[in-house]
Amino acid sequence: MSTKTNHFPWNHLIGFVLSIALTLLAVFVAFNTDFSKTVIVWVIGILAIFQALIQLFMFMHVTEGKEGMINVVNMVYSIFLALVIVFGSIWVLTSGHAAMH
Amino acid sequence: MKGFKKLFGWLVMLTIPFLLAGCESNLIVFDPKGPVARSLTDLIIFSIIFMLVIVIVVFALFGYIVWKYRARSDDGNFEPEEEKGNHLLEIIWFTIPVIIVIALMIPTTKTIYEVEDVPQGYEEEEPLVIHVTSADWKWIFSYPDQDIETVNYLNIPADHPVQFKMTSAGTMQSFWVPELGGQKYTMANMQTNLFLVADRPGSYYGRNTSFNGKGYAHMDFEVQALSQDDFNDWVQEVHDTANTLTEEKYSEILEPTVIGRMTFNNTHLEWIDHAHGGSEKYLNPELYRISHGHEDHEGHDEKSEEETDSNEDQTKTEPSQSEDHAHH
Amino acid sequence: MTSHANNMPLEYKTQQSQMNILGFWVFLGAEIVLFSTLFASYFVLEHNTAGGPTGQDIFILKDVLIETFLLLTSSFTCGLAIHSMRSHHKTGLMVWTIVTLLLGAGFLYMEINEFIHYVHEGASIQTSGFTAAFFTLLGTHGAHVTFGIFWISLLLIQLARRGITEKTASKFFIASLYWHFLDVVWIFIFTFVYLKGMVM
Amino acid sequence: MSLDEFFVTGDPLILASQIAIGLTMIGLIALITYLKRWKWLWNEWFTTVDHKKIGIMYIISGVLMFFRGGVDGLLMKAQTSRPELEFLDAQHYDEIFTTHGVIMILFMAMPLLIGLMNVVIPLQIGARDVAFPKLNALSFWLFFAGAMLFNVSFVIGGSPDAGWTSYFPLAGKEFTPGVGNNYYAIALQIAGIGTLATGINFVVTIIKMRAPGMTWMRLPIFVWSTFITSIIIVAAFPIFTVALAYMTLDRLFGTHFFTVANGGDPMLWLNLFWLWGHPEVYIVVLPAFGMFSEVIATFARKNLYGYKSMVYAVAGIAFLSMLVWVHHFYTMGNSAAVNSIFSLTTMMIAIPTGVKIFNWLFTLRKGRIEFSTAMLWSLAFIPCFTIGGVTGVMLAMAAADYQYHNTMFLVAHFHYVLIPGVVFAVFAGLYYWWPKMFGFKLNEKIGKWHFWLFVIGFNMTFMPMFFVGLDGMSRRMYTYSASTGWAGWLGFSAIGSIILAAGFAALCYNIYWSFRYASRDVGNDPWNGRTLEWATASPAPHYNFAKVPEVDRLDAYWYMKKEGNTGLKKSDLKPVHMPSNSWTPIFLAVVFGVVGFFLVFEWFTLAILASIGIVVGLVANSFDYDDGYHISVEELADEEREWRGDLQ
Ligand code: HEA
Ligand code: HEA
Ligand code: CUA
Ligand SMILES: [Cu+2]
């Protein structure tokens, strides 16, 4: 990494093209395939995670700076929290008596 | 330091009678009157033994160390050696709690699953189904098979499983009869389930534990376990003497008030089951508006007033037990 | 203070800038928690439509796709802006940032129209548990975009006055993190609110 | 809205306190004007960005709030001291336990801990200030605005009355139509944003501003616990932000997140509240653990036993803290699998906590234990907290909790962890760091009165609650009948609370006495401490350290003293860069408070107008390029010479 970065921003361009492609792919999977609904949600979910990673690494440069490692740990922990909050809440609130509605 | 010693002695004196009184009385949670409550009490006593051991170990270590290593005028103001720690010790006081947690976890899980079902030994019997509807600030019990509804008291056959199907007409409450079993919440638009059995005839204290506004302190009820014959007689008597609940009367009951007991020879389930929505049409926020200060004291006066007021539609087989929290 | 940062881009030059950037990452961690709470609530309330419209009834794929492309493109141009900044290219930074903001404004315009349309269809924020969670999740994201547009506009004024300095550079860099982050959130909204809502 | 709805009137108790508050306010303003202190207040305190002054302001607010919350506690104790008393009516009692809970946790425990963190952390890591001093001031003022807004409810409009947990549907507009719960939603939101900012601030401060050589495993343990607490703050507070926003929307804008009607789900509130609320109780206890560790090591004259395992234990507690929230509503009818898993995760917290208890005990072992007041609090903490902790484990066993939930047993549990865990720690911290803040010690003899009265009163107040709880008394009951047989327990408890209050009064007297009479000659290191805050003057100079010390091991200052290299050469001094004061934090906070007030009453036009102030503040802040100022070497040398004999 140098102070002057005059080269063509390839990784931005690649990231952009990829994100458009992944979006279209998700739409295609959702509307033009006959997977079961669960499979569809899983597939488009994974595509979304890919896109998020592209933003994180290609656009936001998580790993750069003196605290690159700390940033990564921070993001991993936040994602862990997100999973706990989302899946935890769903599990707690839709199992048990709520399942009998 | 003299002052402290005196104070301390004085306090100890003051404490003793209370501690003695505590040992004498039978704390309700340790006095189960049915199989569900009994399995909870067993679990509790099991856990208390572990906790006592832990507390004694910590207290003993604490007392010993603090006494032994206190600074003294004759210790030459020595400087203690630095200590890094000790792996073996640290492993020990990590492992023993792990084992304790496992030991507590096994019966806990067993009991959690157990109390979700009809109590052991009663699987063969068809449970009596009672719908519990909690409202501000009263309990409504519906017996769909008997076609009976009671307010603020509950009669059940003894030695027979009862299945409570519980819901709420508004705020969240918690249905608790500590001598018969653990509590569970009641919530509008939802149904929770609870199984209880009373070993033998008797009167048990029940109440709401989930705070729901002004009348909360008075939101208790009596559970009467009757022999099967007495229970049948009671059902018959209600059919003979009690009034019919009308929708109009029902919405009056649902208003936020503290009221006495009532009995009807039909159930509100005929027109609404709060487990499946529709409660909102009975709600009136205006009735919950508070004006500060010039509030007269909620409770007793109003309660007894209501009681006489609604006497016409009550059947009482028992002598009137207004507001009976007693359980000793 | 600056000695150890010689091989770093300008925005990392001072200790304070490094702390600002790190602090912003930590803030983004908090934002992840915030949005996952909004998502969790949405998933819990999604089916509580109380007789009102469902997602399937009201979502329009075409509009949502346009919004998505606007935002994805703005994230790309925002990246280009930072790329220009790192090449000390003030005009590039200016132009790409303005393009970014315009795309963001376009997104907002589409989103507001979308909301107006929903209200006409009988789905306002007060209709049901579902609409409450839906509008709050989308609204929080939209409010972030709005805030971002105002904030970055202020930065543009500072840039025009002061040029690319250690300070303005770190401010722009932080703003770019924010903007990309909003894009990430949108990807999940697009996938788990719109696509999922339309197929399930 | 009519005037008598706006002002709370009628109740003589409230009226009396209103008059008292009014008179105090007028008196204060008059006094400041008379002494011509406004300018001084503004320059030295209101606009300050100095972490020590901010810390002190936090502490003052915390002590005041302790008084308010404590009076609430005493009122409750008086009301239930005998059966069927009519001292408070139901409504009044409900308001009091609600404000008591909120104030004690959010406006007493939090500011006192954050205040001590503010004072101590930069000093302990050898920093000049926190990473974002202006943001730090904003945090304080937002907290303060939130606290004031919350307290105003009691005079204007009516207090919230749905419990500190404010469960829906009760807390919704259908069941509590007054403005009380609007105060809850909005005041806590404002304070919460400040807390979140504090969390971010300390995370960055500790990562980036440690003295040279202070690697992670050389951090003082209080710094570690603050660091991890800050991480929990960042992880948990956004959840509360969302939950409160939903509450606000439901109450003010007619949405249906938690309502009975139109597909709302009250269980979602419980879930979100405790997703924040459980971590919150560890947010208040972990810094406290850190303080105990410092005090115990200092007065046992030994290093902390098992330092590394202490660090891992704190990290473990923090990790688990996000995974246990359901234990607050086992009785909601969850599936048996949910309750079992959450029982397990909850009980697992006992393991790292036990590691800490035993490490503290072994720090004491083979030490030379000095019974200073700070140490007494730390010692009393161990047995008292153990009782609170093991009863917590009993609650953690879901099936058993079906019998304890929402009973006085639970109330006893949490006072047994909160008071020994947090209040004792704050007291220990105050006695310990007081000289660092003010340059004199609190009186040790009055301190002992404070200690014994408080500890004995505490046990007398809360021990009986375990028993009435097991005897079927649920919490939040404003009255009970004589036939319950609870009167003896509760009467005893009420007597205990008077002793407790006398202890608190002793603290107040101690502060007063020491301000007037205590010796000002305490030196920089009155306790023979181990960490860097003792390496600089007492009270600490505004620049903290003339030269940032270098750290080569844990407890560096201890060894610096041993090796005799605490001296300072003038030739080593360099000008020190300091941040400038700023008016934006207090300005923004006042605007937030005003907007919040208008929102409480649903005066939306006014609220929007006032919000312009927020925009002004933010814009002003964005354009602020003030770089601070430098303190010259001469000034530094002059100030250092005043307290150290060894400036060469
Ligand atoms: C500082 C605050 C604090 C702390 C530290 C704790 C610590 C713990 N708490 Fe507590 N808790 C509260 C504050 C706190 N709590 C509050 C405020 C509420 C009520 C809120 C409300 O409803 O209003 C509450 C409620 C509460 C409940 C809900 C009960 C109910 O509503 O029915 C539960 C249930 O699991 C629980 C469990 C625990 C456990 C397991 C711990 C553990 O962390 C304790 C660990 C410590 C020890 C166990 C002691 C030391 C360990 C050893 C000596 C090792 C050996 C021990 C064993 C192996 C057991 N707490
Ligand atoms: C850190 C938190 C904290 C602290 C320190 C305390 C401290 C105290 N609490 Fe606590 N309490 C809670 C947190 C806390 N509490 C919470 C979260 C709840 C749940 C709320 C809810 O249900 O929603 C609760 C609920 C609660 C209840 C249960 C109400 C009910 O369910 O019916 C009671 C009842 O007695 C009580 C009492 C007390 C008492 C007597 C003190 C005492 O320790 C207070 C001691 C302090 C003083 C006594 C200071 C005042 C001193 C004086 C007035 C003396 C004179 C002084 C001078 C002259 C200077 N509290
Ligand atoms: Cu509670 Cu469904
Ligand atoms: Cu908890």
Contact B193 A98 (CB under 8 A): no
Q: For residue B41, how many other CB atoms are within 10 A of its CB?
A: 18
- Which member of C12, C33, C83 has the closest CB to residue A65? C12
List the beta bridge partners of residue B140.
B133, B151
Given CB atoms, is A101 within the 8 Å cutoff of chain C?
A: no
Q: Is D114 helix (H, G, I), strand (E, B) or coil?
A: helix
Nearest ligand 1 atom to the CA of D284 is 1
Q: Which two tokens stand for residue D190?
A: 């404002």
- Same-domain check for residues A47 and A82: no
Kindly report, residue by residue over B308-326, the tens digit of the pLDDT. Answer: 334 344 433 333 333 433 3
Amino acid of residue D39:
K
Which residue, judged by its Cα, is nearest atom 23 of ligand 1?
D165
Q: What's chain C's Rg over C-alpha atoms?
A: 19
| Cα B275 from Cα B265, distance rounded (Å) | 21
Kindly report, residue by residue over D394-432, the tens digit of the pLDDT. Answer: 999 999 999 999 999 999 999 999 999 999 999 999 999
Cα B139 to the center of its chain, rounded Å: 14
Kindly report, residue by residue over A61-87, the tens digit of the pLDDT. Answer: 777 777 788 999 999 999 999 999 999
Spell out the alpha helix ranges (H) of D301-407: 307-321, 336-348, 350-364, 373-396, 398-404
How high is the pLDDT of residue D107?
96
For the Cβ of A96 lying below 6 angstroms from any atom of ligand 3, the answer is: no
How high is the pLDDT of residue D25?
83
Whether the predicted pLDDT of A17 surpasses 60: yes
**Residues whose CB is less than 8 angstroms from the CB of residue D494 and which lie 6 or more positions away in sequence, other chains included:** D77, D78, D80, D81, D461
Distance from CA of C87 to the nearest CA of A (A): 5
- Same-domain check for residues B176 and B242: yes
ipTM over 0.85? The verdict is: yes
Given CB atoms, is A93 within the 8 Å cutoff of chain D?
A: yes
Which residues of D are less than 8 Å from A69 in CB distance?
Answer: none
For the Cβ of D497 lying below 6 angstroms from any atom of ligand 2, the answer is: yes
- Same-domain check for residues A75 and A52: no
Please report which ligand is nearest the Cα atom of D421. 1
The model's pTM is 0.94
For chain B, which chains pass the contact test of at least 3 CB pairs under 8 Å? A, D
Q: How many domains are contained in chain A?
A: 2
- Same-domain check for residues B139 and B224: yes
For the Cβ of D420 lying below 6 angstroms from any atom of ligand 2, the answer is: no
- Same-domain check for residues A7 and A34: yes
Nearest ligand 3 atom to the CA of A101 is 2
Please report which ligand is nearest the Cα atom of D285. 1
Report the run of H or E that residue D631 belongs to, with start and end.
Answer: strand D629-631
Which residues of A are less than 8 Å from C195 in CB distance?
Answer: 26-27, 30, 44
How high is the pLDDT of residue B299?
40
Whether the predicted pLDDT of C2 surpasses 80: no
> Domains in chain C, start-ordered, CATH in brackets?
54-199 (1.20.120.80)
Contact C44 D265 (CB under 8 A): yes
Cα D349 to averaged position of ligand 1 atoms, centre (Å): 9
For the Cβ of B253 lying below 6 angstroms from any atom of ligand 3, the answer is: no
For the Cβ of D360 lying below 6 angstroms from any atom of ligand 1, the answer is: no
Q: Which two tokens stand for residue D422?
A: 């947090």
- Same-domain check for residues A53 and A78: no
Phi, psi of D374 (to 5 degrees): -60, -40
Nearest CA in chain B to A96: B192
Q: Which two tokens stand for residue B124?
A: 């063969």
User: Is residue B74, in this structure, part of any structural domain at all?
Assistant: no
Which residues in chain D land under pLDDT 70?
1-5, 9-10, 646, 648
Kindly report, residue by residue over D190-206, the tens digit of the pLDDT. Answer: 999 999 999 999 999 99
3-state SS of chain B is CHHHHHHHHHHHHHHHHHHHHHHHCCCHHHCCCCHHHHHHHHHHHHHHHHHHHHHHHHHHHHHHHHHHCECCCCCCCCCCCCCCCCHHHHHHHHHHHHHHHHHHHHHHHHHHHHCCCCCCCCCCCCCEEEEEEEECCEEEEEECCCCEEEECEEEEECCCCEEEEEEECCCCEEEECCCCCCCEEECCCCCEEEEECCCCCEEEEEEECCCCCHHHHHCEEEEEEECHHHHHHHHHHHHHHCECCCHHHHHHHCCCCCCCCEEECCCHHHCCCHHHCCHHHHCCHHHHCCCCCCCCCCCHHHHHHHHHHCHHHCCCCCCCCCCCCCCC
Given CB atoms, is D271 within the 8 Å cutoff of chain A?
A: yes
Distance from CA of A1 to the nearest CA of C (A): 7
Whole-angstrom CA distances from D83 to B155, B322, D77, D482, D485 are: 28, 16, 12, 5, 9
For the Cβ of A97 lying below 6 angstroms from any atom of ligand 3, the answer is: yes
Question: How is domain D37-582+626-644 classified at the CATH fold level?
Answer: Cytochrome C Oxidase; Chain A (1.20.210)
Amino acid of residue C8:
M
Nearest CA in chain D to A69: D207
- Same-domain check for residues B185 and B51: no
- Same-domain check for residues B176 and B234: yes
How high is the pLDDT of residue D1?
56
Which residue, judged by its Cα, is nearest atom 45 of ligand 2?
D70
> What is the DSSP secondary structure assignment for residue D578, as one 8-state letter?
E
Which range of residues forms the domain containing residue B41? 28-68+86-116
Q: Which two tokens stand for residue B102?
A: 């496992």
D591 in Cβ contact with D619 (< 8 Å): no
Q: How many domains are contained in chain B?
A: 2
Which residues of B are less than 8 Å from A93 in CB distance?
Answer: none
For the Cβ of B103 lying below 6 angstroms from any atom of ligand 1, the answer is: no
For chain A, which chains pass the contact test of at least 3 CB pairs under 8 Å? B, C, D
CATH of the domain at B181: 2.60.40.420
- Same-domain check for residues B266 and B245: yes
Please report which ligand is nearest the Cα atom of A95. 3
Kindly report, residue by residue over D599-641, the tens digit of the pLDDT. Answer: 999 999 999 999 999 999 999 888 888 888 999 998 999 888 8
Amino acid of residue D374:
A
B34 in Cβ contact with B198 (< 8 Å): yes
Which residues of B are less than 8 Å from A101 in CB distance?
Answer: 190-191
B139 in Cβ contact with B132 (< 8 Å): yes
| Cα D453 from Cα B8, distance rounded (Å) | 9
- Same-domain check for residues B203 and B244: yes
Q: Is D246 helix (H, G, I), strand (E, B) or coil?
A: helix
| Cα D203 from Cα D212, distance rounded (Å) | 18
Distance from CA of C106 to the nearest CA of D (A): 23
Cα torsion for D47, D48, D51, D53, to the nearest 10°?
A: -100
Contact A20 C12 (CB under 8 A): no
- Same-domain check for residues B134 and B95: no
> What is the DSSP secondary structure assignment for residue D9, as one 8-state letter?
-
Q: How far apart are the first and last CA of chain D?
A: 71
Q: What is the mean pLDDT of each run of 10 residues along chain B (328 residues)?
A: 49 49 69 94 95 96 94 84 87 94 96 92 92 95 95 95 95 96 94 94 95 94 95 94 93 93 94 91 87 45 40 38 38
3-state SS of D26-51 is HHHHHHHHHCCCHHHHHHHHHCCCCH
Helices D424-438 and D444-470: angle between axes, nearest 10 degrees? 160
D198 in Cβ contact with D131 (< 8 Å): no
- Which member of B104, B212, B215 has the closest CB to residue D397? B104
Cα C47 to averaged position of ligand 3 atoms, centre (Å): 14
| Cα B113 from Cα B266, distance rounded (Å) | 34
| Cα D423 from Cα D66, distance rounded (Å) | 10
- Same-domain check for residues A82 and A55: no
Q: For residue B114, how many other CB atoms are within 10 A of its CB?
A: 18
Cα D280 to averaged position of ligand 4 atoms, centre (Å): 8
Kindly report, residue by residue over D130-169, the tens digit of the pLDDT. Answer: 999 999 999 999 999 999 999 999 888 889 999 999 999 9
- Same-domain check for residues A37 and A15: yes
Which residues of C are less than 8 Å from D200 in CB distance?
Answer: 23, 26-27, 30
Q: Count how many Cα atoms sit within 13 Å of the Cα of residue B227 in the half-sphere of its side chain.
A: 2
**Higher local confidence (pLDDT), D14 or C183:** C183
Which range of residues forms the domain containing residue A93? 71-101
Distance from CA of A56 to the nearest CA of D (A): 20
Which residues between 552 and 591 in chain D have a beta carbon less than 8 angstroms from any beta carbon of chain A?
Answer: none
Give chain D's contact residues with C (Cβ, < 8 Å): 131-132, 196, 199-201, 203-204, 207-209, 234-239, 241-243, 245-246, 249-250, 253-257, 261-265, 268, 271-272, 275, 619, 622-623, 625
- Same-domain check for residues B108 and B134: no
D143 in Cβ contact with D195 (< 8 Å): yes
Residue extents of the structural domains in chain D: 37-582+626-644
B274 in Cβ contact with B169 (< 8 Å): yes
